Structure 1
Amino acid sequence: MTLITEKQLDALQEFINIGIGRAAGMLNEMLDTPIQLCVPMLQMFEGAALKQKLAQRLDPHHFSAVRLGFSGSFSGSAELLFPTESASALVALLTGEDRDSPDLDGVKIGTLTEVGNIVINGILGSISNLLSEHMSYALPSYHEDTMEHLLLSNHLFKVDTIFLLAQARFEIKQLEIVGEIILIFEMTSFSELLACIDRELALISQSSEKGAV
């Protein structure tokens, strides 16, 4: 497994936090109630360990996922996963539908796909812009299944991959909605990502040294 240093992990978490902040700003415009998104922790896993970790957090039978593939300087895919209760609560809040309304399912796919697209694009755009690397994005797709089936349906799961797991907490008044953000990188692509982070950290360090002179 590719090792990641504490500095690299801190930098990557900062990139993700910036992207989450931008996504929160866009979601704020969709709501009358301010929304905050925060990522309390970023962790790196291989496939089997990720399955075990998610099994501890998510209902193994029912959850929703928005998936978006990316390519360019880095290749892989990103997923935003919601347990059933969190998904329903978020959709009800965004659409004004009652959580028990039979119409909720009719608007769920479009609503969650839009939210996933905003959040994932915010994160990937932040990484791309801050590292000055080009990335292209596929159209987002919506899925409902068990955690294991969803991960196995992602073709990147079948090759050497690195999984970055971030728990996204949607803070809206007293309502806490929790989702999981998974960034999936091919091994060579992840190594290139770390190399780009190292170059960026070196530039920051050089700039600080010049400023101190």
Structure 2
Amino acid sequence: MTPTVEQIDALQEMINIGVGRAASVLNEMLESHISLQVPYIKIFSPSELTEELEHRLGPIQLSAVRLMFTGSLSGNAQLVFPTDSASKLVSLLTQDELDSLDLDSLKIGTLSEVGNIVINGVMGSISNLLGQHFNYSLPIYIEDTVDHLLTWSEFDPNLVILLAQARFSVESMHIQGDIILIFTVSSFDSLIDSLQLQYE
């Protein structure tokens, strides 16, 4: 099922609401203004997404937090951003200098929590607005390049993927980066049906 322009706009609005809620939580954690905006969403197949991200981000190291979800819709959501931006964010959250970070524990724990906040904010928005219920797994932290990070062999190649690119900025630290939310939705038609019912 191909979504209409109106349905894409509705999806974008739901994601914007969720990201806004996550930004409010992060503002309190950071005690510094953080803005998160989702300018657009796009729909891809797994192979198209890999090509898109390789073109957009290049061969740099990325940090990702993945959260599986099941329920009336199932799939996984990932928060992905450049590793250097991730390190700056961890430094700000923990009040530590970058060179003193224990990247094997502190960074992973902090970024997993940030990923949890952002992804749950978005999924909570979808759940509330569409009346859907989801169950979540524990977040998994991954660090690699795009071509290794997005190993789609574990997914059905026919899956539909929603890519939402958010611009991320922390004014006091001049930190900017891209947050990429990736949703693999095995029941995409159900999502579109729910949108249709909600906005008729």
TM-score range, shorter chain: over 0.9
**Aligned-partner Cα distance in 2 for 1:104–1:97:** 12
Q: Is contact 1:98–1:104 with CA below 8 Å preserved after alignment? A: no
Unaligned runs of 5+ in 2: none
**Aligned-partner Cα distance in 2 for 1:89–1:70:** 29
**Aligned-partner Cα distance in 2 for 1:170–1:114:** 16
Provide runs of 4+ in structure 1 moved above 4 Å: none
* Cα distance per residue 1:83-141 (max 9 Å; x no partner): 11111121111112222335355411000000000000000110011001111111111
Task: Report the counterpart of residue 199 of structure 1 in structure 2.
Answer: 197
Task: Report the counterpart of residue 180 of structure 2 in structure 1.
Answer: 180
**Aligned-partner Cα distance in 1 for 2:38–2:141:** 22
CA RMSD of aligned residues (A): 1.6
Residue number among 145, 166, 169 corresponding to 1:168 in the alignment? 166
Residue 97 of structure 1 aligns to a residue in which SS? coil
| TM-score, normalised by the number of residues in structure 1 | 0.87
Residue 43 of structure 2 aligns to a residue in which SS? strand
Q: Which has the larger radius of gyration?
A: 1
**Aligned-partner Cα distance in 2 for 1:3–1:102:** 46
| TM-score, normalised by the number of residues in structure 2 | 0.93
Task: Report the counterpart of residue 209 of structure 1 in structure 2.
Answer: none
Q: Is contact 1:63–1:147 with CA below 8 Å preserved after alignment? A: yes
**Aligned-partner Cα distance in 1 for 2:3–2:37:** 22
Q: Is contact 1:97–1:103 with CA below 8 Å preserved after alignment? A: no
Q: Is contact 2:85–2:175 with CA below 8 Å preserved after alignment? A: no
Which amino acid in 2 is paired with 1:9? I
Q: 1:26 to 1:52 in 2, by over 3 A?
A: same
Residue 40 of structure 1 aligns to a residue in which SS? strand
Q: Is contact 2:46–2:157 with CA below 8 Å preserved after alignment? A: no
The count of corresponding residues between Structure 1 and Structure 2 is 198
Task: Report the counterpart of residue 50 of structure 1 in structure 2.
Answer: 49
* Cα distance per residue 1:141-197 (max 9 Å; x no partner): 1111222222216722x34201111112222113212221111111xx100000000
Residue 99 of structure 2 aligns to a residue in which SS? coil
Say yes or no: does 1:88 pair with 2:84: no
Q: Is contact 1:90–1:177 with CA below 8 Å preserved after alignment? A: no
Shift in Å at residue 16 of structure 1? 0.3
Which amino acid in 2 is paired with 1:88? S
Q: 1:134 to 1:102 in 2, by over 3 A?
A: closer
Higher relative contact order (CA 8 A, sep 6+): 2
